[in-house]
Amino acid sequence: MLAEILRRLMATVPVMAVVAIAVFALLHVTPGDPAVIIAGDYATTDDIARIRTRLGLDQPFHTQVAIWVGRIVRGDLGTSIFSGLPVSTLIGQRAGTTAWLTLFAMLISVGVGVPVGVVAAWRRGSWIDRAVMVFAVSGFSMPTFWLGFILVYVFAITAGWLPVQGYLPVATGAWPFLSHLILPALTLSVAYMALIARMTRASMLGVLEEDYIRTAFAKGLAPRGVLIRHALKNASLPVVTIVGIGFALLIGGAVVTESVFALPGLGRLTVDAIVRRDYPVIQGVLLVVSGVYVLINLVVDVLYVVLDPRIRY
Amino acid sequence: MHDEDPDGPIDQTGTVYSPCTGRATGSRPAAACYYRRRGLAAVDVERVTPREEHDMIQLTRRRFVAGATTVAAATALATPRARAQKTGGTLRFVAQADLKILDPVWTTAYITRNHAYLVYDTLFGTDEKLAVKPQMVERHSVSKDGMKYAFTLRDGLRWHDGQPVAAEDCVESLKRWMKKDRFGRLLAAHTAKLAAADRKTFTLELGERFGPVLEALGKPSSNVPFMMPARIAATSADEQIKEIVGSGPFRFVKDEWQPGNQVVYVKHADYLPRNEAPSGSAGGKKVNLEKVVWRYMPDAATAAAALAAGEIDWWEIPPIDFIPKIEQTASLATFLPDPLGTQGWLRPNHLHPPFNNKKARQALVAMMSQETYLQAAIGVPKYYRTCPSVFACAGPYASQAGAEGLLHQDMARARQLVKESGYDGRPVTVVHVTDIGFLSGAALVTRDLLTQAGFTVDLKAVDWSTNLAVRAKKDPPDKGGWNVLHTWWMAADVMHPAVHFGISGAGPGAWFGWPEIPQLEQLTTEWVRATDQPRRKQLAEAIQRTALDEVAYVPWGEWFLPTAFRRNVTGIQKFIAPLFWNVSIG
C-alpha cells in the first residue's frame, strides 16, 4: 500500500508540471498588463516599457517560463509584483482561513448530509424522503451570496448571536474563532450538504435492495446496525468520491463566501491577483491549489481501498 | 516590532464583549440582547420599519442589506449600550481599495497616497481653503529675486526608527519625487541646485523663474512629496522602497499587514505636532487614537452590514445608493470630506481617425450634456453638479472661458461637424469599463450620443484592469486600440495646469490619447513661470480655451463622494484623503 501511495505521489509530478505550464500560458494570453497597472495614470509609454523590463515581462515567453519553473524547482514561488511580499508569505497568511472554512463546511456537509440521506433512503417515499428531496433541490438552487446575506441578517444583525464578517485565528480563543466561522461555513456547506444527502440516498437505495441486507434484517439485527454497519459502509464509495470532489470544489467555491464575509482566504487572494494581473501570485496560488486537488484525489483513492479491500490499483 | 494593542488581539473584526454573557462574542450588537431581555423576538425589531417588509418581499442583495442597516440602526438607537462597548483607542476603517503598494512615489494610486498620509509627513500642507502652510518646515525664506529658497526644519522631528530628521533626508526625498511627479518634473526642470545647507536647513536655487514652488512642495494629491530618510529615498524612482519608515503621526506595522485584508497603524509616540489647529494636511496633527486598522471589504453590502452592526467605525466611500439608508440611521452619519469633488472625462484618441480630426473632436463637445452623463453615472442630483470648466469648479482657476459648447448641447451642430470632418463611417471604438458603475454609465451615454451625432459605435466591454492595458495601446482601434475612453480624476488633480494631465499637449509624452498641442505646453510653461495670481488666472483661461477648442478632452461634470461613520467617531476633517489625526472614538 505504501509503495502504491509513493508511486501515486510520484505520478503527481508530471501532472503538476503540466498544470504549471498551462497556468503560465493561460495567464500570458489573458488581456491585461501588470506594468500598466503599476505605472499608474501619469505614466508615459516609456515608463511602462521600463517597468515591463524590470519585471521581466519583455522577455520571450519561453524565457519567462524557464525562469519561473527554475524558481519553482528551488521552492521559490516568487514575489508579488504589487506588494513586494513573497507569494509563499501571502499564501501562508490566507491558507489557514480557507483550510478551516473548507474543513468546517465539509464537516457540516457530511455530518448532516449523510444521516439525512440514510434516513431518506430507509424511509423511501415517506414525507421525510420528500422533505429531504425538497431540501436538496433548494440547497442546490440557492445562490451562495444570497444565502450568506440571509444568514447574516438573521443570525448576526437581527439575533446578534454571531459577527457579520471577519476572521480571527484559533489563538484568539475558541469562541471568537468559531463564531467567525459558523456562518461562512454554513453558507458554504448548504449546497454540498444537499449534494451529499442526495448521493447518499441514491447509493443507499441500491444497497438496501441487496440480499445480504434482507438477510441481516431477517437475522433480527437492529435497523441502526444494518443501516450503518452493513448498508452505509457498502454505499459509501460514491459518497467518498463526492466528498473528495466536494473538498476540491469547496476550495474554489470559497471565493464568494470569503467575499460576503470579508474573510482573508485563498479565494479572495486569487481573485484580487487576477484583477490586478499579479502573475506570480496567481501562478503560485493555482499551483498550490492544484497540488491540494491532486492530494485529495490520492486520499480518495486510498480510502477506496480501505473501504473496499477488493479494489486494487 | 510593534506595540501591544491596548484592546487585546487585533480587532480586525470588531470583537466586543457580550452584554448578555460577558464573553467575547465577535461583534454581537448589544441590541439583540436588549430585545431578548424584553421578551421581544427578532421579528418585533423588524416591525420597527414596515418598509423593510416590502423590501424583503422583493429581495435583492442591496435592498436586503439596506433593510438590515435600518434594522440594526433602530436597535442601536434603542440601546445606548451599543456605544458603551466601543473599543477605545482602535479605529476600524474600511478603505476604498486594497492597499497593495506602499511606496507613494512609485505609484499614483490614491489608496497608497492615503496610506502615506498616516506614515509620512510633508514639508508643507494644504489646508481646507487650499492655502499652503508649513508642516515639517519651521520657517522659510525667499530671495528678493525669487530665485533662491531656504527651508529650515522644525526641531524635534524624528523618523519612526528614532533617528532625527535631517535636511539631507528632505533633499533626497524631493529629488526622488521630482523624477516621478508631473509638478515635480516641472520644478526640477527649473531648478539649478537643491542641497542641504546644514543639519536642519536646505536650499533650492532656481535656474529659471518658477512661481508655484510652495504649491509644488505642498501638493496634496498624487504624487505627494512625502519625506523619507535619505537612505530610503536613495532608491531608484522606478523601484519600490523596501522599508516603510516615515516621520508621520502613525507607524505602519508591517508584520500585521495582510494585503487584501488589513493594514495596521499605531501611534508614533515621538511625533511632535504643530501647535496650530488641524486643517487639511496643514496644522497640528494631534493623534488621539492608539491604533488604526484598515480593513478591505470588496463587497459593499458586507461593509454596510458591518458598519450598522458596529463592527467597523468608518467606511471611507460607500456607494451612493447606500447613502440614503445610512442617513436614515440614527447611529450613523455621513459627511462630504472632499468638497472639491471628482471630475469625469471623455477622452478622444488623437492618434487615429476620426478623432485625429479637430472637427470630429469638436463634435464631442457639441454633443455633450453633462446633466445626462451625471444622471446616468451618479444618479443622485445632490451628489453631482455640472461644471463647464477643465479646472475644478471649486478651485481658483474655474472658468467658463471657451466653454460655450459645454453649456448647451447642440446635436445639430454635432452632426454638422461630423459631416465636415469627413468621417468615413468606420466604427468608433468606445472603451466600456463594466466593473465600475459610473464609468459604465458614462460609456453607455457616449454610445447613444455618438450614434445620434452620426458615428457608428463599437462598444468594447472590458474590466478596469484590461482597460488600463487597452488605453496604453497606440495601435489603431481595429488592432486592439481605442477611440474614446472615460475616466475620472479628483478635483485636486485638475486644480491647476501644473497638476492637470488632461491639458498636456505633449503628444507621445501626454496622457493616454496623446494630443499634440504645442500651444498647451507653452502656456503651461508660462503658467509655472508666472508669479502673480492675475497673470496665472489669465494663462489658465487661455489654456482652457485652447484645450476645449482642440478638444484635448471633454469634462462631463463633477460629483462628490460622501463618507459614512458611526456617530461616536469625531474629528473627521475635510480633505481629499481620509486623515486620522484629530479623530477620536467615543
SS3 string, B138-174, reads EEEEECCCCCEEEEEECCCCECCCCCECCHHHHHHHH
Chain A residues with CB under 8 Å of B465 CB are: 32, 37, 275-277
Interface test with A, best of B53, B59, B221, B302 (most A CBs within 10 A): B302
Q: How confident is the model at residue B11 (pLDDT cuts 50, 70, 90)?
A: very low
ipTM over 0.85: no
Residue A44 domain flag: no
Within its chain, how far is the Cα of B384 from the centroid?
Answer: 16
Q: Are A146 and A191 a contacting pair, CB within 8 Å?
A: no
Residue A117 domain flag: yes
- To the nearest whole percent, how much of chain A has pLDDT over 90? 31
Pick from A4-18, A26-40, A75-89, B234-248: least confident: A26-40
Mean of pLDDT over chain A: 86
For residue A141, the enclosing domain spans 90-277
Q: Are B486 and B346 a contacting pair, CB within 8 Å?
A: yes
For residue range B370-419, what is the model confidence (pLDDT) as tens digits?
Answer: 999 999 999 999 999 999 999 999 999 999 999 999 999 999 999 999 99
What is the identity of the amino acid at A277? Answer: R
Q: Which of residues 450-489 of B touch A (CB under 8 A)?
A: 462-466, 468-472, 474, 487, 489
Residue A114 domain flag: yes
Asked if the C-beta of B585 comes within 8 angstroms of chain A's C-beta atoms, the answer is: no
Residue A108 domain flag: yes
Residue A209 domain flag: yes
Helix (H, G, I), strand (E, B) or coil at B261: coil
- Taking the model in full, what pTM does it have? 0.80
Burial class (CB in 10 A: 0-12, 13-18, 19+), A123: middle
Q: Which domains does chain B have, with CATH numbers?
A: 121-236 (3.90.76.10), 342-559 (3.10.105.10)
pLDDT value of position A30? 75
What is the identity of the amino acid at B24? Answer: A
Mean of pLDDT over chain B: 85
Subunit contact A145:B61, Cβ cutoff 8 A: yes
For residue range B310-369, what is the model confidence (pLDDT) as tens digits?
Answer: 999 999 999 988 999 999 999 999 999 998 999 999 999 999 999 999 999 999 999 999
pLDDT value of position B135? 98
Q: How far apart are CA B476 and CA B455, in angstroms?
A: 17
In chain A, DSSP finds a helix count (H) and a strand count (E) of 13, 0
Residue A15 domain flag: no
For residue range A161-212, what is the model confidence (pLDDT) as tens digits?
Answer: 999 999 998 999 999 999 999 999 999 999 889 989 999 999 999 899 889 9
Q: Which of residues 185-224 of B touch A (CB under 8 A)?
A: 222-223
pLDDT value of position A42? 67
Pick from A72-86, B57-71, B419-433: least confident: B57-71
Q: How far apart are CA A120 and CA A204, in angstroms?
A: 9
Q: How confident is the model at residue B131 (pLDDT cuts 50, 70, 90)?
A: very high
Alpha-carbon Rg for chain B in angstroms: 26
Structural domain tally of chain A?
1
Q: How confident is the model at residue B199 (pLDDT cuts 50, 70, 90)?
A: very high
Q: Which three cell numbers mark B294? A: 484598515
Quote the DSSP letter at residue A231: I
Burial class (CB in 10 A: 0-12, 13-18, 19+), B91: buried
For residue range A206-248, what is the model confidence (pLDDT) as tens digits?
Answer: 899 889 999 988 988 888 888 888 888 888 888 888 888 877 7
Residue A163 domain flag: yes
pLDDT at A140 over 70: yes
Q: Which of A154, A166, A269 has its CB closest to that of B13?
A: A166
pLDDT value of position B55? 35
CATH of the domain at A125: 1.10.3720.10
Residue A106 domain flag: yes
Q: What average pLDDT score do residues A138-158 get? A: 90
